[in-house]
């Protein structure tokens, strides 16, 4: 008789007690080797993601730092250029408008705020002014401050006078001259377009100083920056921080350099200065990224003749 085929169930019954059947396809679960491979791949992906995040963060911080230093450098050269272009504006022609200059500092006189009244019209005399008069009547007092200088100008005639530090104005439109500093010339007055008119300009003294130790830049109007940078007021003196370089190169009206290597021009050259190249380097740190940017500008004193 042919042997009877054994059924799978019969084979299973004859299996040894405690034996574990080998996994078959589709039975589910992972081997430990597979788990290790998955964990290794996950670690590599996570490591790459962290690296990409760190790189992107550094790029963002560097871009922010770069923009901050660039904006500050541009603001400095624009402000300095705006001031220097007004050197000698409304200043009398009998004395030098630039009183001191080095490769890192300058002091000059000029109408940097373009004296106008509340309606943006020029300030002018509204009554004739006699020589030796102790006061004058003007069209507006908005931009006239005690302690500053005032220039009277009528055609080719001009003279500048220092106002008292206090009590220089009275009444509605009256300006009082400082004690012994009164006009030596008589000036007419009248409406614009109808005859002689004397204009009144305020003259500001501007002092720029850079301190390499503290990397601070001082700008003082109608005053001078204290000799020690540690005494500079953060509110009224310091115009910029983290300035790693500030160099002024002066030229005369023909473009000839009057100083070199950020050095000081000679005292005799002050009256010849007509233009300046200002070079500024600013450093900015955002996070762990530090970027320095340099900007340069050439400014010309518009009010100074050759």
State the pLDDT at residue 274.
Answer: 95
Task: Give me the residues of the chain with pLDDT under 70, please.
Answer: 1-28, 93-94
- Which of the 8 DSSP states describes residue 108? E
74-115 tens-digit pLDDT? 999 999 999 999 998 888 766 789 999 999 999 999 988 777
Nearest to 198 by CA among 140, 259, 126, 290: 126
Q: How far apart are CA 69 and CA 170, in angstroms?
A: 46
Name the nearest CA neighbour of 130 among 170, 185, 88.
185
Cβ atoms of 284 and 65 within 8 Å: the answer is yes
Query: E strands of the chain, at which residues?
Result: 98-101, 105-110, 135-137, 149-154, 157-162, 169-170, 174-176, 199-211, 216-221, 238-240, 243-251, 275-286, 289-300
Q: Which residue has the tokens 């597979």?
A: 34
Q: Please report the pLDDT score of residue 1 as a whole number.
A: 45
pTM of the model: 0.76
CA distances from 277 to 80, 198, 246, 247 (A): 10, 35, 10, 8
Separation between Cα atoms, residue 296 and residue 281, nearest integer Å? 9
């Amino acid at each position: 008789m042919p042997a009877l085929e054994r059924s799978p169930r019969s084979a299973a019954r004859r299996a040894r007690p405690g034996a574990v059947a080998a996994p078959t396809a589709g039975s589910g679960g992972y081997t430990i080797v597979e788990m290790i491979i998955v964990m290794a791949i996950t670690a590599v992906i996570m490591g790459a993601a962290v690296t990409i995040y760190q790189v992107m963060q550094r790029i963002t911080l560097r871009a922010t730092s770069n923009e901050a230093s660039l904006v500050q450098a541009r603001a400095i050269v624009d402000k300095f250029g705006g001031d220097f272009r007004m050197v000698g504006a409304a200043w009398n022609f009998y004395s030098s408008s630039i009183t001191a200059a080095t490769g890192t500092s300058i002091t000059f006189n000029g109408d940097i705020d373009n004296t106008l009244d509340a309606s943006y019209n020029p300030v002018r005399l509204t009554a004739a002014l006699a020589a030796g008069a102790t006061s004058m009547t003007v069209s507006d007092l908005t931009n006239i401050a005690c302690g500053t200088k005032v220039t009277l100008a009528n055609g080719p005639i001009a003279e500048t006078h220092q106002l008292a530090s206090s009590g220089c104005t009275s009444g509605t439109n009256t300006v009082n001259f400082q004690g012994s500093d009164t006009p030596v010339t008589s000036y007419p007055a009248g409406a614009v377009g109808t005859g002689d008119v004397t204009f009144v300009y305020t003259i500001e003294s501007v002092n720029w100083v850079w301190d390499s130790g503290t990397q601070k830049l001082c700008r003082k109007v109608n005053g001078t920056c204290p000799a020690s940078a540690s005494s500079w007021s953060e509110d009224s003196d310091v115009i910029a921080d983290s300035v790693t370089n500030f160099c002024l190169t002066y030229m005369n009206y023909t473009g000839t350099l009057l100083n070199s290597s950020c050095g000081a021009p000679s005292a005799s050259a002050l009256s010849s200065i007509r233009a300046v190249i200002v070079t500024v380097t600013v450093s900015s740190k955002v996070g762990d990224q530090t970027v320095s940017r340099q900007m340069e500008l050439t400014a010309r004193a518009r009010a100074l003749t050759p």
